[in-house]
Amino acid sequence: MTDKAEAKAKMGDKVDVEQTSVVDEVAKEAHTNWHSLDTEECVRILKCGAEHVQSGLSEEEAAVRLERYGPNKLMEKVKETLCQKIWKQVSNVLVAILVTIAVVSAARAIAEEFQDSPDSTTILTSWIQVGLITLVITVNTAIGIYQEGSAEKAAEALKGMLSADARVIRGGEEKMVPAEDVVPGDIVILGLGDKIPADLRLLSVSNLACEEAALTGEAVPIDKFTEKIPAPEGMDDSQVAIGDRKNMTFSATLVAQGSAVGLVIATGDFTQIGTINKMVNATEKKKTAVLEQIDKVSIILAVLISMATLATFLVARFASNQVWFEAVSTALVCCVAMVPEGLEAIVTLTYAWAVKNMAEKNAIIRALPAVETLGSVTCICSDKTGTLTQNIMSLTAFVTSNARYKFDVDSTDRVPGNFVRDNSYLKERAVLDFSKKAGSQVKEDADQPAESSEIVVETDNSDPYPFPNGSSPDIPFIVNALSCGVLCSKCVLGEGGGREGALGNPTELSILRAAYFSGIDIDKQKENAPIVAEVPFSSEYKFMATVHDTGLPNDELLCYVKGAPDRMVDLCKYQAKGGVVAETEEIDPEYWQEQISILSSHGLRVLALCQATLPKSEVPTDGDLGQEFVNGRAEKKWLTLVGLCAIMDPPRPECVDAIKEAHSAGVRVAMITGDHKDTATAIGHMLGIVDEKYSGAVTGPEMDKMNEDQLKEAVLKYNVFARASPANKIQIVTALQAQKQICSMTGDGVNDAPALKAADMGVAMGKEGTDVAREASEMILADDNFATIVVAVREGRVVWDNLRKVLLVNTPINNAQGMSVLFGLAIGLEQSPLSPIQVLYSNLICAITLGFVTAIEPAEKGIMKLPPRRIGKRLIGRYLLLRILLGTFTLTFLVVGSCFWLLSYNTATPSKAAEMYIYDPKCEAGCHYNLTYNGPGKICQTSEDKDWDAIPASAGGVIEYCLADLRAIAFNVLDFGAIAITLSARFAYNSSISPRIFKGNKYCWYSVFIVAVLQVFITYVPGVNDIIFLMSRDGMDGTQWGITFLFMFIVFFVMETEKALRRHLKYKGADTDDAEFDDAFDDTEVETKKKVSMPASFKLFRKTSSKKKSE
């Protein structure tokens, strides 16, 4: 190497080292615990000056930083080229065998063209064989590439969430710049509705709240402030959850209210959403068990095919005395016959059919092999809100000082009759009564409106003021009782009182919705009581207050306050008697605290509605009021408590039945929610998730304190996980997989992406979910309904059963083709009973038609009464292998036997002429070359070839059938026998000798009809039968068809007899389902966990000093 080259190499190494060093520095800087620092320290770390907040970066400094930190965009994963995708599809042993056969066939065609007297039939059939093999490989490759195309969209969805522009301060001036040009150190100005362009440390805020549900899972906007956040006792700064870093905002989240100024502390892949992008790109694709088993089966088949091909070659060359090239061609016929070239296509079609069925039932599968995973799921971890519940917060009860009013949440009529006084409704604390039928209350409540528009109540006429028990209140009462909920709110109802177009907090909207469906004109009510001042809601003090000018005398204003009931009771001096606001009495705090406890025990959210009148002089009108306006008054108790609103997101009635079905199928259902423990437990009991075995719940903070062993124990002990964060979902998935469970996990936010990737089956929400969650999942629920998951699990089990049926149909047919060639030659035939084109045709037509029949079979009865498929269970077990071998040898025996049956009709004395007539390749098209064929029953005389010996007249023999006739009957026995195997295989255990054979799958008889018609067409159409398929030009006679249908019946009878024997063995207790472990057929250990590269911000920390979770 020259000195110059050495110097250049050293310079290149130096540059690489410097670039690596810069990246490390940037990464270290990005992972600084910014939330734990004050703003001055943050500015200093980013090497900005004292006046930086006012002036921002200069354009020159911004350019330098852009060079250092790179553009503010997410890293793109290197995509596979088309050539790489094609190679990935064709790089397997079966395709290699097919390619070899195609090359040899092409070589044979080319060699034949150079012969002195080339045989045009040999040339044509060889090129047809090459074309068919090429077509098979091309179709399989195209299907594989098409199905994998959707898997590359996850990173694109993340990039679509990023902001396009940003408002920054550069050189002392505000300006809009492309978001890609934002760099650490930039000062960013945020306003209502802005999409945040990078991760920011807030410098100043004005009533700022950000919508971070997609990133943190928080359902409501997060209030922000600027003070530094110290870590709680026992934790370090890095352990503070993303959602608790309230002095920061994060890239791709939204400003829900207020405004702010922030300092950019991370951009691109170093933001929180950037770490998710890295995780998505780093996730390794893992084949499902079926595809891995298909690969293993392919290798085994390749070995067996090679052995059979070699055996066929040796028999053809040395037993049948074929010349070398002819012996090779015969051996390749056996090889082509046994290669299951249609297997991958039919497996893909099986998946595709299941995907189509599930899509019609609102389960959208993103990756076809994921269908198979569903069949082995042992635990479904589901979100509560919107999945197990209706995702519509509804006011179910209104409690006054002496009564309880039940509201019909299912009514669509706008009448006050939707409220009915029912003093027995929710009057006692909830008790988890496990003797009560799971979900009965949900079902009763759901079914009642359909039977009657009236709500039935117990007779109770005590204290009938203001309305007796069982009656409905009038509109004036409802208007006054709910005025606080209607007027102390800035929410907007959706069209027709529904969710579409609704704006605001779902809990507040539930009160507006109840008022709307009671016949109240909400817009008019708000118009008549304009807001003068307000105290905005804050999670810090948990209430909201508004002051209204309703035209009260004496210059007074009306103040409404609604909020957490336990805090409101302490602020109330009076209570509205019976809910009538015009009549008040001294408050009974014990009564209200008891009612709050009762309602909360039922999993209800409770809001207290209060009001009071105030002189105008006490209400400032210059901007928002502070919390002290409500809880800092001289008179501590000054409000009147009107009533309690009991609100809940009702469970979906259909989920109760779905959970029962899952339990009967041996599938556990776990509920993961951000709700409080008691609420979650109550909802779980209503759904049947909480029962005697799983009677408790565990919270996210409790899980964070557990070590690995405790966590593994917890995920098997509890079905309800409350106050859970997206990070807890990863904990649950990892622990379940460590316990050898196959788990499904639902999620809807960006921060759920790691858990969805880590789960064996990630399930995203179609309505409420983010694009990132959807792209990180294997399945999407179009209706966000848990019941759809159970439907998908059922379909997954059907797919497994059908794949076994596909193998039972395709494998014996392929094997019988090859074995017929081998055994036919071995026991006396001089030529292969099947031509190469016949073999290729049978492979394709049987796979595409008959194989498809079993691929789309509907579920057999009782499929959801069986336990989940055992981990490590292989497609081919002991009994399926026995069935395949039985079908193979039965069909082989009958195909070869049909040829010898025909030969038994040839009574001519054996001679060279007779043998040549029957077996010479030039006779394959009906002896129309150098032989004279005088029809069945006539002696064939030689014409030109003087080497042939004439058949002695004294022999008195006749030659009924030649090679072309043998190939015709062998071809038809094979394919009609395949129909018999298919009809039997439609039912794994139940007999096919039943009327059920004509039901359930119309495509079965379409396929049978197509195969039968094509067989007749090929057998009788000249040019097709003799030139392409090398059969007799005259088709088949009655004897041949009689043999064909007799053998078809024998195949069907043998397969049905085997099923009857297996049913008897199962009745006696034998493991005919291959459910038990078998060393010879099953994997001893199966890796269930997907390999996911977890970014630092998703690491799970433990408070225990002895152990920390290893990432």
The closest alpha carbon to 402, from 643, 578, 605, belongs to 578
Strands 697-699 and 720-722: parallel
First and final C-alpha spacing in the chain:
45
Tokens found for residue 833: 């009973």
**DSSP category for residue 503:** B
Tokens found for residue 705: 């304190």
Q: Is the peptide bond before 466 cis (omega within 30 degrees of 0)?
A: yes
The closest alpha carbon to 564, from 590, 588, 538, 586, belongs to 538
Q: Where are the alpha helices (DSSP H) in 827-908?
A: 836-845, 851-855, 878-903
Contact 765, 746 (CB under 8 A): yes
The closest alpha carbon to 680, from 1018, 445, 432, belongs to 432
The closest alpha carbon to 351, from 284, 287, 280, 281, belongs to 287
Tokens found for residue 638: 């000054």
SS (H, E, C) 327-354: HHHHHHHHHHHHCCCCHHHHHHHHHHHH
Quote the CA–CA distance of 853 and 979 in Å, as a whole number: 10
What SS3 state is found at 793?
Answer: helix
397 strand-pairing partners: 406, 646
In degrees rounded to 5, what are phi and psi of residue 544? -135, 145
Do you know the residue count of the chain? 1111
**Amino acid type, 44:** R
In degrees rounded to 5, what are phi and psi of residue 606? -125, 130
Quote the CA–CA distance of 967 and 1075 in Å, as a whole number: 42
**DSSP category for residue 995:** G
What SS3 state is found at 724?
Answer: coil
Quote the CA–CA distance of 137 and 815 in Å, as a whole number: 20
Catalytic residues: 383
202 strand-pairing partners: 262
Contact 995, 951 (CB under 8 A): no
The closest alpha carbon to 772, from 193, 248, 241, 252, belongs to 252
The closest alpha carbon to 987, from 976, 975, 977, 997, belongs to 997
Strands 761-765 and 720-722: unpaired
Contact 392, 454 (CB under 8 A): no
**DSSP category for residue 783:** T
Q: Where are the alpha helices (DSSP H) in 904-1001?
A: 912-919, 963-985
What SS3 state is found at 976?
Answer: helix
Q: Look at phi and psi of residue 722 and say left if phi exceeds 0, alpha if psi is from -120 to 50, else beta.
A: beta
Tokens found for residue 84: 């790489």
Q: What is the DSSP string of 255-318?
A: EEEEEEEEEEEE-GGGSHHHHHHHHHHHPPP---HHHHHHHHHHHHHHHHHHHHHHHHHHIIII
* Cβ count within 10 A of residue 450: 8
What letters, b where the CB count within 10 A reaches 16 and e where it falls short, cover 971-989? bbbbbbbbbbbbbbbbbbe
